[in-house]
Chain A
């Protein structure tokens, strides 16, 4: 429209699923977006695009969330039995026999996004900027129910989770002497989550216990907050429970560069994470056995702090700067390669390394660690993992045609 400067889309989607409490009800999700391009506004500004989008999407409950089911796979001396399984944790969604909700329905995400894409200096620089707010209502969650009911959690719709964030990506290709080329991209992202409402009350999603720090969903707090014991209650019993960390970083920066000089090229990718916390139980185990490297200086005091019911003793910063990848390559001139054998189009020699170095205050191997594998929320817990590998590669690539 308008000489391809304006783009408008709109759609409505209806979904139904047998995993909803009412399997015959149709849920509708609208979406719409608009963008407008300004061309050659200024002499060096090639194009400026502004865009805005709004969309709603649904996320179906897991199959089984509408049923309260019993555990079956056990027997006593070969006599099979069924019974109530209290463990219905988000750690094993769908695996446990859980208390369900016959009225369960999809959760609904409402995302509003505005952004701009700028291209300038004849394509030598591009900038993308995105601001988003994603609000999920009717959150599907296994909210805590008093354990005296036989279950510790029950599926339900409830609560509102809001994520707000910003993403910026800047790419430049500066004009350099003719045989030198540089492509450089820097990306910045920041996300802030907040549980806006939680009718069922706070509950723990993962971790080993309040004395070691656990991830807890709580109204008004970040979804990835770590809470733990911080000393005894005034009456001498255990314990004051408070936020002692957050797994979500303040921001992430990716910095990738490709430098080409004649037939040589150098590529590297730096990742920087600022903020974020880890529960480092490896250190606790070293301390508990008086084996940590700094036991005689700070370790003992740290352990005694934990003994006084302070779980924050083993919560550490997970900030890091990592050289994730570096590659140096040499491409054989095409004429020479072709003279060896006419079918050879290209020969390329390269050496590369991954995970070459990490600069971090984190005391253990790697601040990117998760004791419970790939989890959306309670990732940052470490219990004596293997270090992540550092790898070196040499390769020869040939292409034929």
Chain B
């Protein structure tokens, strides 16, 4: 009986002390209940880190979407799936590295943006001025739109989940209407515009060299408008696209549509927003300069003679690579270093988007002028001739192919949008190769619902 009493006493003593230890390893949702200036700044910077996550990986979007559009090839003896899943067979919802990443990576960053937006709305957060909060909101929503765009670019009619700002475990439906998804992204970008317009003169956190020239709320808005124009073109809302382009950083002033080409124009075409990379500790390097990432031979063989873009972006390898009945003797020179930036959107694309919107409106004259600006200055080619409503789209897509080569699957996405992702537009190497149109919803989503 005495022992029992002692035991009960010990138990009472134990109960009396408080073991409640907070998370000492990392900041978390608990921390964000009372946001500090530094945690909100870090969360904002984290969105840039999340947006570039996996972009340059061999299993990232530049390479894999490039493979699907036959801009690139990966022939490596260490993983046959680059051929057997991406060029043949069918895309596997159970392969994280062959599709699954284009779902989980953007959605984790979308969650990050939602956490940031909640922290900014938290009444106890007083570290930013009202204008700074607005600027940060506009930034977060713009990056979020970019992430949603990655989901729809990779999954197309297979769908996307839109309203994901829910407690973990609760799920919103998968929306398969691309119209609804594009409208959702457009609304996000318009909301962001409103926020950025009220965002004062400076962001309360650094945006890094990837956003040089777009690092104030006013100039970042021009990047936002550029994305808005791309989404509008994808959505076939051409008047909206032209309006957005007018508010973007589109600059054609240095670009004549007749020879001679202007070096200043070529420089202006490269102005844009980029994913930044670095080799420093904790930073992410650009790893696209790997010997098993090859340029698809059709990129060279189907180019117009003398196209300077091929010479500038593609190199001939001393040793051709062949594997599984596929081969190439070309590699890319676009990303030579570990800190080479990867374009998000550039002036060159904006000029081509304007041409595309004008074609959509049947305004062929301004479209031809823009196509020629790119042909003459970027390609070093003669202006186009004989373009009419029957062939102008093919010519535009060809210019997009070479101007935006290996920058994030533009060829694949563009052909799919016009329903011509077929053997007459995409080079099939061997009979058993197929052209995949979109990644399936991954098992990490469908099986957990």
Interface residues of A (CB under 8 A from B): 14, 16-18, 23-24, 26, 63-64, 67-86, 97, 99-100, 144-152, 154, 200-204, 208-211, 214, 229, 232, 236-239, 241, 284-285, 288-289, 306-309
Contacts and interface: CB of A to CB of B under 8 A. Distances in A.
B94 A145 contact: no
Given A84-B109, A149-B169, A74 B49 contact: yes
Interface stretch (B85-93, B246-254, B304-312, B372-380): B85-93
Contact of B14 (A26, A210, A211): A26
Contact of B108 (A86, A211, A236): A86
Nearest to A213: B94
A150 B112 contact: yes
A375 to B, nearest CB: 18
B107 A86 contact: yes
B80 interface: yes
Contact of A146 (B29, B45, B171): B171
Contacts of B243: none
Contacts of A69: 23, 25-29
B397 to A, nearest CB: 28
A144 B446 CA distance: 10
B80 A201 contact: no
Given A70-B28, A75-B280, A77-B208, 8 more contacts: A17-B19, A83-B50, A83-B109, A84-B50, A151-B108, A154-B169, A202-B447, A209-B94
B206 A79 contact: yes
Contact of B107 (A17, A97, A147): A147
Contact of B112 (A75, A83, A237): A83
Contacts of A82: 26-27, 39, 42-43, 46
Contacts of B449: 146
A217 to B, nearest CB: 11
A154 to B, nearest CB: 5
A100 B169 CA distance: 11
Contact of B111 (A150, A203, A229, A285): A150
Interface in B11-48: 11, 14-15, 18-21, 23, 25-30, 39, 42-48
Interface of B: 11, 14-15, 18-21, 23, 25-30, 39, 42-50, 52, 77-78, 80-81, 84-85, 88-98, 100, 103-105, 107-112, 115, 161, 164, 166, 168-172, 205-206, 208-210, 276, 278, 280, 282-284, 323-324, 440, 442-445, 447-449
Contacts of B52: 76
8 contacts: A79-B206, A81-B50, A82-B39, A86-B108, A146-B171, A149-B170, A150-B110, A209-B92
Contacts of B210: 76
Contact of A236 (B90, B208, B443): B90
A85 B28 CA distance: 11
A237 B99 CA distance: 14
B282 A145 contact: no
Contacts of B11: 14, 26
A148 B30 CA distance: 21
B131 to A, nearest CB: 21
Contacts of B444: 144, 146-147, 152
Given A67-B23, A239-B92, A74 B282 contact: yes
Contacts of A146: 161, 171, 444-445, 448-449
Contacts of B104: 86, 147, 152
A81 B46 contact: yes
Nearest to B448: A144
Given A76-B49, A203-B447, A289-B77, A68 B94 contact: no
Nearest to B45: A81
A210 B95 contact: yes
Contacts of B105: 86
A152 B14 CA distance: 37
